[in-house]
Amino acid sequence: MNIVATTTETPPLQATSGFPPEYFLNREIGLLAFNRRVLWQARNPRTPLLERLRFLCIVSSNLDEFFEIRVAGVKEQLKLNSVAITTDGKTAREVYRLVSEETHALVKEQYQLLNEEILPQLATEGIRFVKRSEWNEAQREWIKGFFFREVMPVITPIGLDPSHPFPRVLNKSLNFAVELEGRDAFGRSSGAAIVQAPRVLPRVIRLPRELGDVEYAFVFLSSILHEFVHELFSGMKVLGCYQFRVTRNSDLFVDEEEVKNLRAKIQGELPQRHFGDAVRLEIANNCSEAMTQFLLGQFNLTESDLYRVAGPVNLVRLMQVPDWVLRNDLKFVPFTPGTPKALQKCHSVFDSIRGGDILLHHPYQSFNPVIELLDQAATDPQVVAIRMTVYRTGTDSVLMQSLLRAAQNGKEVTVVVELMARFDEEANIGWATKLEEVGAHVVYGVVGYKTHAKMLMIVRREEGKAGSSILRRYVHLGTGNYHPKTARLYSDFGLLTCNEEIGADTNEVFKQLTGLGRAQTLTHLWQAPFSLQPNVVAAIRAEAEAARAGKRARIIAKMNSLLEPETIATLYEASQAGVKIDLIVRGVCGLRAGVKDLSENISVRSIIGRQLEHHRIFYFYAGGEEKVYLSSADWMERNFFRRIELAFPVLDRKLKRRVIAEGLQIYLTDNTLAWELGPDGTYHQRRGSRTSPHSSQAELIELLQAS
């Protein structure tokens, strides 16, 4: 089995959608446009200052993954001379040129914002990043001591000569290229050396309060190394020291025809992810031209892959600073998530669920009921079995601890662990190992299809009619991961139910994942890769038919991404039939909105704020029935055809009205966080009146937080 970059070729678009390529927007450019909207939050003076710094770091984190996966894929196509055409009709070479131009402009603006606005304003608030030229004598002595005590013992400088070739540089690690003059103890004079900063070293160090003239004084590790790098090369003259960082292809692709042991193969290949092909080189803007060309040659990169930056090459490491600084006046106002009344009445979550379906709206409502449900199930003598999917759950998950405890208590525990959850593979392998050690059944889904559905099913023996006993299924289905930390940051819905038909459907999906057999027709759930996309397309077409018949028709959908060509084409046809369609797409959207005679009845908006918009909601008027589905899936080819995903209906009328109000309508009235997509493919911020501003996230906090 080989693990290589994915190079899936896309067939010519018109053959699959019926619409020409110019009616579609480019995925890579759309992702960069999304990051521009995030960068605007860092630019917005109404955003609290430390949160502006955090948004700036989020852009860098997003760009890291963009290069590791998306740009790496484009460069792989260039290497293979691929003739594949994107959905908007572009070749890989055209895409790469556009991406390079836009990303260079975006990074330049990012560092300008950091240096000209955010850092100076932080300094006025007593939060300073002290430059080397600003160190006073006392600070310099403390920093020097820190260097000799904490830094020098763990650093290994590598002089470049025939016996010391250029070292293997880890993906996204901090490194320094040093230009030298003179000869060492052995008479060698290579003129250059590489210093790799170990990942155990902090990139930002806070100075003791008594040494600073402000409350929070920080110094960069890069500044310390620049100042004392000569100590690593005794007797030689340092001509220059330049920080650099290389980003590598980090995608994993499993050859499913050869796989025998998925877990063992991934576990063996994961360390190589740090040494994939280089796709980007970031260097300090003071780096000499000779050293720049030398580094580009070492990584087999060109000028278009080079990013000269005016500051730290890794802004992601500044993400921790807002957490270190105890200044609530410079952060978003905190709130305490609320709890539905149905869960406040009973100590037992099982009793509450039997009283009726329960809807949880995170992060405005607490994720604790899900934690408590699994915690109670682990020790409840009436619980006989637990089944759960794990995609992203973190390295210190209380949910996984409950599963371990349940298995130790003799429950029949089955966990479907997705080993190919990007960048969470190692954590998931760790949990799989621990679960197996206590006797849980661990399976890895279906090779070739990521298990992305969010399902938890608990089977409990309870008293039935006339004193008989029955087995009742309690189910949690969600739009987001079983990850308590992200549940405080991402907007998601979760449904708790003991509806027999939904329980039976969920059980059937688990049977598919753990055993063998043909897919059965499900009563309520739409499942990828079988029925989800056909049912979405059919529901859109049903609205179009209603509109053509002169009946009321309406579609509202919220998701992270919209790219699947047939779904987009069907939306265009529905718009032409007269269906009013509102789409709330946080990230990339391949559909052109508001184009006359094509999509003039379609609006697309993106909501960017303090919470990451993550839930997927599909609303169809359906002749007045108003069908509402919640889902783990975006409208993308990968979600529809290469993943195991679910969309589940909200059957309770009151909960359905809640989803429509809290998950859709409130976003359609937002005039503070909303960006609207124009026919030309660009986004414009929706401006509201000063007298009646509407912020969907602020209003949801006010509505649902604990009183």
pLDDT digits (tens, 9 = 90+) for 644-653: 999 999 999 9
| Fold (topology level) of 130-330 | polyphosphate kinase like (3.30.1840)
Instruction: Label the pairing between strands 469-478 and 454-463.
Output: antiparallel
- Tokens matching residue 546: 């209603």
How buried is residue 628: exposed, middle or buried, by Cβ count under 10 Å (0-12/13-18/19+)? buried
pLDDT in tens, 43-92: 999 999 999 999 999 999 999 999 999 999 999 999 989 888 888 999 99
Q: How far apart are CA 22 and CA 592, in angstroms?
A: 9
pLDDT band at 4 (very low <50, low <70, confident <90, very high): very low
Collapsing DSSP states into helix, strand and coil, what is residue 395?
coil
> Which position has the higher pLDDT, 477 or 159?
477
pLDDT at site 15: 36
- Are residues 79 and 4 in contact, defined by beta-carbon separation less than 8 angstroms? no
Q: How far apart are CA 537 and CA 539, in angstroms?
A: 5
Collapsing DSSP states into helix, strand and coil, what is residue 81?
coil
Q: How far apart are CA 83 and CA 223, in angstroms?
A: 46
Residue 258 has pLDDT above 90, yes or no: no
Instruction: Label the pairing between strands 237-248 and 278-284.
Output: antiparallel
Give me the residue label for tokens 């110019």: 22
Q: Which of 402, 201, 338, 274 is nearest to 703 (CA)?
A: 338
- Are residues 374 and 456 in contact, defined by beta-carbon separation less than 8 angstroms? yes
Q: How far apart are CA 579 and CA 573, in angstroms?
A: 9
Q: Work out the number of other CB atoms within 10 angstroms of the CB of residue 190.
A: 13
Q: How far apart are CA 684 and CA 468, in angstroms?
A: 63
Q: End-to-end alpha-carbon separation of the chain, Å?
A: 55
Residue 668 has pLDDT above 60, yes or no: yes
- Are residues 635 and 559 in contact, defined by beta-carbon separation less than 8 angstroms? yes
Which of 452, 483, 615, 694 is labelled catalytic? 452
pLDDT at site 40: 97
DSSP characters over 267-336 = HHHGGGGGGS-EEEEEEETT--HHHHHHHHHHTT--GGGEEEESS-S-GGGGGGHHHHS--GGGSPPP--
Q: Which residues contact 295 (CB under 8 A, 6 or more apart)?
A: 177, 244, 281, 283, 287
Q: Work out the number of other CB atoms within 10 angstroms of the CB of residue 687.
A: 10
pLDDT at site 468: 85
pLDDT at site 186: 55
Q: Which of 225, 161, 228 is nearest to 196 (CA)?
A: 225
- Tokens matching residue 364: 């405005």
Q: How far apart are CA 272 and CA 259, in angstroms?
A: 18
CA angle 316, 192, 305 (to 5 degrees): 45
Instruction: Label the pairing between strands 204-206 and 216-220.
Output: antiparallel
pLDDT in tens, 451-470: 999 999 999 999 887 778 99
pLDDT band at 361 (very low <50, low <70, confident <90, very high): very high
Neighbouring C-alpha atoms within 13 Å toward the C-beta of 68: 19
- Tokens matching residue 569: 């084409």
Residue 5 has pLDDT above 50, yes or no: no
- Tokens matching residue 290: 């000779």
Q: How far apart are CA 630 and CA 649, in angstroms?
A: 6
Q: What is the mean pLDDT of residues 20-30?
A: 95
User: Percentage of the chain surpassing pLDDT 90?
Assistant: 79
Q: What is the mean pLDDT of residues 291-313?
A: 96
Residue 593 has pLDDT above 50, yes or no: yes
Would you mind telling me the total number of residues written for the chain in this entry? 707
Least confident of 5-19, 542-556, 628-642: 5-19
Task: Supply the DSSP symbol for 562.
Answer: B
Region(s) of the chain under CATH 1.20.58.310: 14-111
Run of H or E residues at 414 = strand 412-417
Task: Supply the DSSP symbol for 469.
Answer: E
List the beta strands (DSSP E) in 504-567.
Answer: 526-528, 554-559
Q: Which residues contact 701 (CB under 8 A, 6 or more apart)?
A: 335, 364
Instruction: Give the CATH class of 527-704.
Output: alpha beta
Q: How far apart are CA 359 and CA 655, in angstroms?
A: 7
Collapsing DSSP states into helix, strand and coil, what is residue 455?
strand
Q: What is the mean pLDDT of residues 217-226?
A: 96
Segments in 19-91 forming alpha helices (H): 27-43, 49-65, 72-79
Q: How far apart are CA 388 and CA 384, in angstroms?
A: 14
Residue 609 has pLDDT above 60, yes or no: yes
Q: What is the mean pLDDT of residues 395-424?
A: 87
- Phi then psi dihedrals of residue 694, to 5 deg: -130, 115
pLDDT in tens, 531-576: 999 999 999 999 999 999 999 999 999 999 999 999 999 999 999 9
pLDDT at site 120: 98
Q: Checking phi first, is residue 300 left (phi over 0); if not, alpha (psi -120 to 50) or beta? A: left
pLDDT at site 7: 34
pLDDT in tens, 499-525: 999 999 999 999 999 988 788 899 999
| Fold (topology level) of 14-111 | Methane Monooxygenase Hydroxylase; Chain G, domain 1 (1.20.58)
Tell me the one-letter amino acid at 8.
T
Collapsing DSSP states into helix, strand and coil, what is residue 24?
strand
pLDDT band at 346 (very low <50, low <70, confident <90, very high): confident
pLDDT band at 14 (very low <50, low <70, confident <90, very high): very low
- Are residues 663 and 617 in contact, defined by beta-carbon separation less than 8 angstroms? yes
Q: Work out the number of other CB atoms within 10 angstroms of the CB of residue 511.
A: 14
pLDDT at site 582: 98
Give me the residue label for tokens 């060492």: 184
Q: Is 452 a catalytic residue?
A: yes
pLDDT at site 162: 56
The pTM for the full model equals: 0.92
pLDDT at site 3: 32
Q: How far apart are CA 107 and CA 314, in angstroms?
A: 12
pLDDT at site 619: 98
List, as own/partner pairs, every contact residues 621-625 make where C-beta atoms lie below 8 angstroms and the sequence separation is at least 24, other chains included: 621/543, 621/546, 621/552, 621/553, 621/554, 621/555, 622/539, 622/542, 622/543, 623/546, 623/551, 624/552
Task: Supply the DSSP symbol for 35.
Answer: H
- Tokens matching residue 353: 């669920």
Q: Work out the number of other CB atoms within 10 angstroms of the CB of residue 425.
A: 19
Run of H or E residues at 195 = strand 192-196
Q: What is the mean pLDDT of residues 680-688?
A: 88
Collapsing DSSP states into helix, strand and coil, what is residue 220?
strand
Instruction: Give the CATH class of 341-518.
Output: alpha beta
What average pLDDT does the chain have? Answer: 91
CA angle 418, 422, 425 (to 5 degrees): 55
Instruction: Label the pairing between strands 454-463 and 216-220.
Output: unpaired
Q: How many contiguous H segments (helices) and E segments (strands) does the chain have?
A: 23, 27
Region(s) of the chain under CATH 3.30.1840.10: 130-330
Task: Supply the DSSP symbol for 578.
Answer: T
pLDDT at site 39: 98
pLDDT at site 93: 95
Residue 17 has pLDDT above 90, yes or no: no
**Positive/negative CA dihedral, 569, 573, 579, 580:** positive
